[in-house]
Chain A
Amino acid sequence: MYPLLQDLRVKVLDEVNKVVIGREKEASLLLTCLLARGHVLLEGVPGTSKTLLAKTFAKCLGLTFKRVQFTPDMLPLDIVGGFIFNMKNREFEFKQGPVFTNLLLADEINRAAPKVQSALLEAMQELQVTVEGFTSKLPSPFMVIATQNPLDFEGVYPLPESEKDRFMVRVIFDYPETSIESEILKRNLMEMSVEEVHTVVTSEDLQQMFRVVDSIRVTDEILDYLSKIAKETRTDSRVNLGASPRAMVQLVHCARANAALEGRNYITPDDVKKLAPYVLAHRMRLDRSATLKGLATTPEIIVQQVLDAVKPPR
């Protein structure tokens, strides 16, 4: 099964590359996150192919896909669904919202009010939805890919900490390099559509891959290493809110998926170091007084410094 997983990464990247150029790293992170059963937050300015990448990714994995454009006037019912009165049998019936899909694209999630953003919490964590005491399971796999604009944009609400903590990784979309941008322009002169993308895996194979990821070996020493990293982020004087236990659990799952995609049945410290910046940085809140003292820094820099300081098992 391990060669199959390595092969899957190559195939997915090939298919994605037919439509989205220069986003191999981001597509690879999406796949890692899907296999780790996590959710992804894509952050970047508009027009950097966040939505297109999500659509292409869903297509090549043969997942059912729904897109919700988040707006300020949205209600939680618009996402999870609700009870609607059926005039024929004179009973209330549960009408499923767009959350009932394999891959939900929550586009511009930070344009909706916090109560709407929070409507996704139960779905993301427990893979189910409860409306007025009625609980309904979501299909498997279930993954949320949310896109958000930078916070200094007009009309955006910051995601609550509890919501950010539900996202396994955050991927920042920068502007492409000049050579890649030229290629994007060249490709867009022709008709390029998601229809060109082929599905590269069956749902049975995908379920088997999930089981393979679950069987990846994690030694106690690696777990100790993770605990030390978590402690270091929490005790750093520049940090107000460090990595949560949920963050560390998600880091292990993510590292497992990465190991499986690299054809190994065990995690190494390199898996942890590779993914920690993506898993930890968006959950950390910096201490404002540290910034005022002139300690200009970012969560990404702090995570890197923590990784440089904590000794991994060798």
Chain B
Amino acid sequence: MVFLALIRARRARRTRAKDISEAFAILEKSLHNAFPDLPEGFTWKEVVSRLKSLGITKLDWWEIENTLKKYEAFRYGGIEYSNINVQSILRLANSLPRGVSFAARSQSQSAG
């Protein structure tokens, strides 16, 4: 466990992104590796909601959701924020679980 944590910490330190768009691109790549069943039509909000339900406690979900809100405002609303926390997205990219199905919950959500 300690060994795994060390590897993850090193990986997190090495991952760099020059801006928020690159951070989300890194997250997308990590998501495809972690969830082979990830549908092509996913949105960031769906991803965050699904990952939150997995109970990864060490992440600051408020910060992640806040960053996502600012990213969407920039991406679709043309609003630029100076204080976007790129690190919260990179930390999320480095904390993705393995061997979990992505679709299991999203299908039940759409049915409901």
Binding site for B on A (CB under 8 A): 217, 219, 222, 264-270, 273, 304, 307-314
Contacts and interface: CB of A to CB of B under 8 A. Distances in A.
Given A264-B77, A266-B77, A312-B43, 9 more contacts: A266-B72, A266-B78, A270-B43, A270-B45, A270-B46, A273-B41, A309-B39, A312-B42, A314-B24
Contacts of A312: 41-43
A266 B41 contact: no
7 contacts: A219-B76, A265-B77, A266-B78, A268-B76, A304-B110, A308-B41, A310-B41
A226 to B, nearest CB: 13
Interface string B64-105: 000000001101111000000000000000000000000000
Interface of B: 24, 28, 39-46, 72-73, 75-78, 110
Contacts of B45: 268, 270
A311 B40 CA distance: 5
Contact of B44 (A266, A310, A311, A314): A314
Given A304-B110, A314-B24, A314-B28, A269 B78 contact: no
Nearest to A217: B77
Closest 5 CB pairs of A and B: A266-B77, A308-B39, A266-B76, A308-B41, A311-B40
A51 B35 CA distance: 45
Nearest to B75: A313
A302 B77 CA distance: 30
A217 B78 CA distance: 9
Contacts of A308: 39-41
Given A304-B110, A314-B24, A269 B43 contact: yes
A219 B78 CA distance: 9
Contacts of A219: 76
Nearest to B110: A304
Quick one: which of B46, B76, B77, B110 has the most chain A CB within 10 A?
B76
A205 B4 CA distance: 58
A309 B43 contact: no
Contacts of B110: 304
Nearest to A312: B43
A273 B77 contact: no
A273 B76 contact: no
Contacts of B43: 268-270, 273, 312, 314
Given A270-B45, A304-B110, A310 B75 contact: no
